[in-house]
Structure 1
Amino acid sequence: MRVAVGMSGGVDSSVSALLLKMAGHEVIGVTLRFHTIPESCSTDDLRVCCSPEDVKDAAKVSEKLGIPHITFDWERIFKERVIDYFVQEYAEGKTPNPCAICNRDVKTGFLARYLREAVGIDKLATGHYARIVEYKGSKVIAKAEDKSKDQSYFLALVRSKDIDLIEFPLGELTKDRVRQIAKEHNLPVAEKRDSQEVCFLMGRKPGEFIKDVVGVKEGLIVHSSGKVMGKHTGIHNFTVGQRKGLGVAYHEPLYVLQIDAKENKVVVGEKEKLYRDSLKLLYLNTHMPINQWEDVYAVVRYRSKPVRVKDIRETQDGGYLVEFEEKVWGITPGQVCAFYEGDVLLGGGIIAQV
């Protein structure tokens, strides 16, 4: 089988390539370059992926493994499909999940289709901690065996038609075992730190990044009662559920309840006002027919507590209303709502409103 491996320069994708080669497949290393970083900007202390240093590391690993390595300069594609989306969502008062969008539109689903057409691959493998399984007659994504590292949530927007092209070699392994394999085979990235930051932020907070793009736009911070509490320098500095850094004083803790982009104001209030028993999705991306869904629960933010779903139904505007069996705290427009049945990822959508 001819398999391309999306190599980010980290230990996970490197071990994925190693395992596939050991299994006898024809392996091609593929790296996407998303960023041009000035020499004056050091990434040594940043835990980001897809930097120029990562591209070099991916090439070193490919040479060590004796596999061909291709680098695509997709900086423009990444900006148009991920960064511009990120900025626009914050401008609309939402808190986007750029990694989920990237997996759908750039480096996983889209890349798999692109490579199939461009170089005739059979599969695209990545270093995600997730699995591909057969379930109720469909090929779907499932949680990794190592639940502490599971990344299936970030794959909820990947189109069902792309799943057949994807492999996750690390789905049955723990992180410790992956590092052990890298050390046993003397991979040059065996001790490399994991990337945890949103790559294009380069260590900055989202608000700091967006300020450089849109500038300062002052507005009001208002209590849910209508009382003006203070001013802000941009709604992009806030997210629903935020408590710290509000810049206002009150006799009890306040949280961001709503971000009103039209009025350029931030509404704050008490914690209990953040509980909701439903949400609205812009659309629903399904990995298997929804009429086969049973015993469904949802995850409304990465690492959030799963909540049982009572009902999902389409609305007149083409979105979906999701109702829960209990109230959920801090549902945030712009985030991904992922649906599961046991360990199986059923699909997901982007939260429009609560």
Structure 2
Amino acid sequence: MKKVAVAMSGGVDSSVSALLLKEKGYDVIGVTLKMTSVACDTDIQVCCSPEDVKDAKRVATYLGIEHYILDWEEIFKKKVIEYFVREYKKGKTPNPCAVCNREVKTGLLAKYVRDILGVDYLATGHYLGIDSIYGHKVIKRGKDKNKDQSYFMALLEKESLNYLLFPLENMTKEDTRKIAEDFNIPVAKKSESFEICFTAGKTPGEYLQETGLLKNKTGDIVLKDGTKVGIHKGLSNYTIGQRRGLGIAWKEPLYVIDKNPEKNILVVGKKEELFTDYVDTEELNLFVPEDILEKLDISVQGRYRQKPVNIQKIEKKEKGYRFYFKSPQQKFASGQVLAIYSDDKLLGGGIIL
């Protein structure tokens, strides 16, 4: 009998995943990560809170499975929060969820449960699947495209794919919720979480300012030619492509087109100034050998829920890679993840320069 550890977040998806695996005859245990001691307002649906840990324990008890709580607050702080702050100090827009999946709650946890708890697999409540291309395992978008979280898995180490199970691959959220209600799972009616888990519902700029992790300094908002058009409230409050909240009265709509942290300047321009023919990344994290990319029709996503953008060619640069679009696209934010796809199969990704 295969032994599976389910990453139980205290939500509906991971709870039903544990139920389904138990029903299939797996030897199931639950594992929950405690990554913060800060209690959240129950109206703010974020994950990984102390309340979620309690909910996971309740579900594990209800299902009659062994349950472990791992205090990884310091690991999370070092690997995710410090990264988050460091990148914002550079004027970038980091993606803490993708880094967390690699460094903490999926990649690192998969290693931990195998090496320490002696299980065969780690299962999660993501609506994803495992597939293959030319004999190499890749991640596949699940049936419920509205719940697709493959983008956040682009930085996972390739080895992790050998030890992951996604029980909800062929289900929709409605299916999952119905199963939870039919089996009277304690969290059946629990709301979903949407926010960055450690900001407690605050925007990144608000979180960084209120915690003192990054002191926002006001500075000039300028056009590309240097013309001053306003004052910004701190670069961490803005991202590439942003239009609202600039506080600028101008003859035409202006968008954020660049950030200069060295000079503490926010650069804005007309919408057409946002468009580019390519995007650059750091070194790639791939689930398949690099030469296979040449054999496939490639598309990329530069942010979560973005419509995939078709790629004309990929060029190896001195530092990283350049992806040329088939048609001009709005600039992607530096620091975000570029997820690489072939149809609905995730091939890996890299950090946008």
Q: Which amino acid aligns with 2:289?
A: P
Partner of 1:229: 229
Q: Distance in 2 between matches of 1:184 and 1:202?
A: 31
Q: Which amino acid aligns with 2:336?
A: Q
Contact 2:280 2:322 in 1 (8 A): yes
Q: Distance in 2 between matches of 1:276 and 1:158?
A: 28
Partner of 1:118: 116
Q: Deviations 1:207-266 (Å, cap 9, x if unpaired)?
A: 011113222312211112210112223111110111111122111111000011111110
- Which of these residues, 294, 305, 308, is aligned with residue 306 of structure 1? 308
Partner of 1:268: 268
Partner of 2:283: 283
Matched, 1:248 2:248: yes
Partner of 2:62: 64
Q: What displacement does 1:310 show?
A: 1.4
Contact 2:279 2:331 in 1 (8 A): no
Q: Distance in 1 between matches of 2:214 and 2:170?
A: 44
Q: Deviations 1:24-62 (Å, cap 9, x if unpaired)?
A: 111110000111115xxx421111001001000000000
Q: Distance in 2 between matches of 1:287 and 1:9?
A: 30
- Which of these residues, 313, 317, 322, is aligned with residue 315 of structure 1? 317
Q: Deviations 1:295-315 (Å, cap 9, x if unpaired)?
A: 111111111121111112221
Partner of 1:200: 198
Q: Distance in 2 between matches of 1:299 and 1:167?
A: 24
Q: Distance in 2 between matches of 1:112 and 1:93?
A: 32
Give SS of 2:189's match.
coil
For structure 2, the 5+ residue unaligned runs are none
Give SS of 2:323's match.
strand
Contact 1:274 1:331 in 2 (8 A): no
Q: Which amino acid aligns with 2:110?
A: A
Q: What displacement does 1:135 show?
A: 2.6
Matched, 1:168 2:177: no
Instruction: Write out aligned runs for 1:87-102 (5 A).
Output: 87-102=85-100
Q: Distance in 2 between matches of 1:267 and 1:205?
A: 21
Q: What displacement does 1:316 show?
A: 1.4
Partner of 1:46: 44
Contact 2:216 2:236 in 1 (8 A): no
For structure 1, the 5+ residue unaligned runs are none
Q: Distance in 1 between matches of 2:346 and 2:237?
A: 32
Give SS of 2:105's match.
coil
Identical-residue share of aligned pairs (%): 50
Aligned length: 348
Say what the alpha-carbon RMSD is for the aligned residues. Answer: 1.1
Q: Distance in 1 between matches of 2:341 and 2:233?
A: 39
Give SS of 2:116's match.
helix
Q: Distance in 2 between matches of 1:329 and 1:321?
A: 15
Q: Which amino acid aligns with 1:227?
A: T
TM-score normalised per structure 2: 0.96
Partner of 1:156: 154
Q: Distance in 1 between matches of 2:135 and 2:111?
A: 22
Contact 2:316 2:322 in 1 (8 A): yes
Q: Which amino acid aligns with 2:302?
A: V
Q: Distance in 2 between matches of 1:279 and 1:89?
A: 18
TM-score normalised per structure 1: 0.96
Q: Distance in 2 between matches of 1:115 and 1:170?
A: 20
Contact 2:312 2:324 in 1 (8 A): yes
Q: Which amino acid aligns with 1:210?
A: L
Contact 1:276 1:331 in 2 (8 A): no
Contact 2:219 2:264 in 1 (8 A): yes
Q: Which amino acid aligns with 1:22?
A: E
Give SS of 1:214's match.
coil
Give SS of 1:200's match.
coil
Q: Distance in 1 between matches of 2:137 and 2:232?
A: 48
Q: Which amino acid aligns with 1:159?
A: E
Q: Which amino acid aligns with 1:312?
A: I
Give SS of 1:276's match.
strand
